[in-house]
Amino acid sequence: MLIVDAHLDLSMNAMEWNRDLTRPIEEIRNREKGMTDKPDREKGVVSFEELRKGNIGLVVATQIARYVSPQNQLPGWHSPEQAWAQTQAQLAWYKAMEERGELIQVNNLASLDNHLQRWESAEDKSKMPIGYILSLEGADSIVTLKHVERASHHGLRAIGPAHYGPGRYAQGTDATGGIGKAGRELLKEMERLNIILDATHLCDDSFWEALENFNGSVWASHNNCRTIVPHNRQFSDEQLKELIQRGAVIGGVMDAWMLLPNWVRGVSTPQSMNCDLEKLIDHMDHICQLAGNTLHVGIGSDLDGAFGKEQSPTDIETIADLTKIPVLLSQRGYKKEDIENITSKNWIRFLRNAWKRA
């Protein structure tokens, strides 16, 4: 069964974590033995080989570079221009992976259909390039609105205006406040260029203002349910219902602290909290119950999004284990058609509808 993963920070891992994703996962882990600069050293779960093993043939792959003001204690770049330059280094890596035959950019209806046809018909997936849709997580690196069109020409097809904390165009996780004039102008340009709005990470104030000022396609690439895990990083039922009404797909994210309540950073472990993929199915099922169907749920794993096995479900050894999700959904009573919706068809249908606007 084809799997689409709508959120992977591939270029961040390559350019900031210095991981060669063309190598086997054990080699990547072994090379990081003894390193302590990142909490997930030796514990990564993502590589191109593991993606292919899991039949994960299409992903939404990010560029990410936060700008931080002098009073902002979060890690990030000290000017928008530096942040932009970092995203361009990440773009150069994606292009290098295309030249190597590891990846192929999917950015319109024709390339989507061509890639899916080639992937499904290939008997040996180990030699196939993985399709990737380029997304920008956090818009701080957009120096001016002219940079949005420039990025679009390079294949950018989705933007999440915020990440963690305050941003230049919107406020993100753990922050408050709306999008303001700059955010509204960004959304207008995104709408003109038919760029998808990723509502993930928008704080409540910015979420509602953004949806009020944007008439284009909206998704939430990696978000779970506040009803299950009470934190502003999750969406409330009211927000989820609004997204469902807008035709959005919400990707289930697999960072353990977003899967179950009462996680204590630096203390809790997936093993001590009994955090497995069943907890992800709880979130997916909740959204399906709100919608009354299976048309608005997908996978947006965020695996190796600055965390590894130390903060992943216990039944994830590598990203190839996403193949366990169909089995778990079946055990919950989901039919084959519904399972296929969740694993791939909802994202594909969404993209076809969004790109028909072009």
CA distance linking residue 75 with residue 185, whole number of Å = 26
CA distance linking residue 39 with residue 51, whole number of Å = 22
* Residue 45, both tokens: 């779960």
3-state DSSP call for residue 123? coil
Q: What is the pLDDT of residue 357?
A: 75
Please give the backbone phi and psi of residue 122, each rounded to the nearest 5 degrees, phi first. -75, 125
Residue for token digits 């944007």? 214
Any residues with CB less than 8 A from the CB of 208 and at least 6 apart, and which? Answer: none
Query: Taking a C-beta distance cutoff of 8 angstroms, is the pair 83, 76 a contact?
Result: yes
Any residues with CB less than 8 A from the CB of 42 and at least 6 apart, and which? Answer: 29, 30, 32, 33, 35, 308
Domain boundaries, the chain: 3-355
Q: What is the pLDDT of residue 233?
A: 98
CA distance linking residue 167 with residue 65, whole number of Å = 11
CA distance linking residue 277 with residue 353, whole number of Å = 30
pLDDT values of the chain reduced to their tens digit, one per residue, 358 residues: 999 999 999 999 999 999 999 999 999 999 999 999 999 999 999 999 999 999 999 999 999 999 999 988 899 999 999 999 999 999 999 999 999 999 999 999 999 999 999 999 999 999 999 999 999 999 999 999 999 999 999 999 999 999 999 999 999 999 999 999 999 999 999 999 999 999 999 999 999 999 999 999 999 999 999 999 999 999 999 999 999 999 999 999 999 999 999 999 989 999 999 999 999 999 999 999 999 999 999 999 999 999 999 999 999 999 999 999 999 999 999 999 999 999 999 999 999 999 997 7
Q: Which residues pair with 8 in a beta bridge?
A: 61
For the structural domain made of 3-355, what CATH number should be given? 3.20.20.140
Helices marked H in the chain: 10-15, 25-31, 48-53, 80-100, 109-121, 146-153, 180-192, 204-212, 237-245, 277-291, 324-331, 336-340, 346-355
Task: Calculate the alpha carbon distances from 317 to 321, 351, 352 in Å.
Answer: 7, 30, 32
Please give the backbone phi and psi of residue 59, each rounded to the nearest 5 degrees, phi first. -135, 155
- Alpha-carbon dihedral angle through residues 73, 198, 179, 287, given to the nearest 10 degrees: -100
